[in-house]
Structure 1
Amino acid sequence: MSRLLAVLCVGFLMSSPAVATVINGEVLRQNGNGEFKLLDTSVPFSVGHDNFNTDHLYAFDEDQNILLSEPIRVDIGGDRGMIPQGTTVASHYVFFDSLSGVHEGYVDFDAPILGIAALPDTLDATDFLANNSVNYISTDLRGLEPGDYVWIDPDDPFRLWVLWAGSSPGDYIRVFTEKSLGAMM
């Protein structure tokens, strides 16, 4: 019976359309009244300099399950700051585009986090993993400023923590996870 159930589950995953690999999030503390928002990329939108201006913590999925033809550099995580060639990654964008204040929260993924691009150079170098239905504006202003913190939960590698002092133009990062079973291709 358990073998049949396993076959049915695999069959369901293989026949199901790709689903979001950002699975949850929450704003735990801030000066405003924001909440976590998972953005639907099937409806085109723009992200960047003051485009949202809310207290919400946002996330959306970018390219999923891409086999890296060359290594990519990350600012947090990775093996000595690199995710090696031959690794299959899923890419996600996480940001606050608030007016002001301190924001603390988390985002959960369906696969362990491999690394994070948090500075303009690493974000630029990994734009090939961006979502084609999203218009990225003011890309020279992306990243985190001094005093902003982001980390992978040491007890739960599926959870990303953020502690950001939001202001114009906002805080933006790209998160790389292992191959997502929820976004089978």
Structure 2
Amino acid sequence: MKKLTKLALLGAAATLGATSANAAIVMGDVTGGNSGGVFVQETPLPGFTVGNNQQQSPNLFAFDEVQGFQLTADLAGIAAGTFVNSHYVYFDPQNSTTMEGNVTFDGNVLAILTATGQMSATDALLGNSNVTYQNPGLRGLESNDSASFAGNQVFVDLRASTPGDYIRVITLSAVPEPGTWAMMLLGFFGLGAAMRRKPATSTRVRFA
């Protein structure tokens, strides 16, 4: 019975310890503006720095941040307890120029953070651990920029020079990762095996 209980607890721990599935960037496109750039999806390596004229490029960039994070407080209209994924989208040209484009994710967009305070406050929780985020006073979007979303797409219309335009996109994380299912199945398999195993019996013989 003790072994059965232990296996059940291990199965539960494996299930609770796993994270939700990644809601990654699928694709992006530059649809207008005069920058002459293209969409570039990045995979930051340790030591990568973004913001405050670090890129100086005509391209529209995006990369994935934290995945399967459970909010402990309400954020931008998203209720506490929701599992979310975070993504960074930015435009940091060398000269003053314009950019129109879109980014598609494999999960529905819940909110876009566009204010300097919002972004700096969420770097530690939602940022990519490989990335150092520069946080100038004009980080985010200004009054002549816009960002909107519908379903799993974000649309941007940006006018940038120094220090660039930056947004954090929050998408819904709801489907367990394959690793989660594997751990769940392993736990259930062990539980089933323990239930099928009969305890050894002993026979006592008495002599008259």
Instruction: Tell me if 1:141 matches 2:138.
Output: yes
Once the two structures are superposed, what CA deviation does each residue of 1:141-165 show, in whole Å capped at 9, x if it has no partner? 3110111010013xxx101000010
Relative to the length of structure 1, the TM-score reads 0.78
1:100 positional shift = 1.7
Query: If the length of structure 2 is used for normalisation, what is the TM-score?
Result: 0.70
Aligned to 2:158: 164
Q: Higher strand proportion, which one?
A: 1
Query: 2:92, 2:165 within 8 Å by CA — same for their partners in 1?
Result: yes
Higher helix share: 2
SS class of match (1:116): strand
Question: Which of 73, 94, 98 is matched with 2:89 structurally?
Answer: 94
Alignment RMSD (CA, Å): 2.0
Q: Could you tell me how far apart the structure 2 residues matched to 1:91 and 1:180 are?
A: 13
Name the count of aligned residue pairs. Answer: 157
Instruction: Establish whether residue 83 from structure 1 lines up as the match of residue 63 from structure 2.
Output: no
Counterparts of 2:115 and 2:46, CA distance in 1: 27
- Where do residues 20-169 of structure 1 align in structure 2 (5 Å cutoff)? 21-42=24-45, 44-72=47-75, 74=76, 82-98=77-93, 99-127=95-123, 128-153=125-150, 157-169=151-163
Change (3 A) 1:19 1:139: same
Identity %: 37
Distance across 2 between alignment mates of 1:182 and 1:55: 37
Instruction: Answer with 1 or 2: which has the greater Rg.
Output: 2
Cα 1:22–1:182 shift into 2, 3 Å: farther
Check whether the contact 1:21–1:182 (CA below 8 A) recurs between aligned residues.
no
Distance of aligned partners of 1:168 and 1:44 in 2 relative to their CA distance in 1, 3 Å threshold: same
Q: Say if 1:21 and 1:183, in contact at 8 Å, map to a contact too.
A: no
The whole-number CA distance in structure 1 between the counterparts of 2:51 and 2:177 is: 25
Q: Alpha-carbon deviation of 1:180?
A: 6.3
| 2:170 match | 176
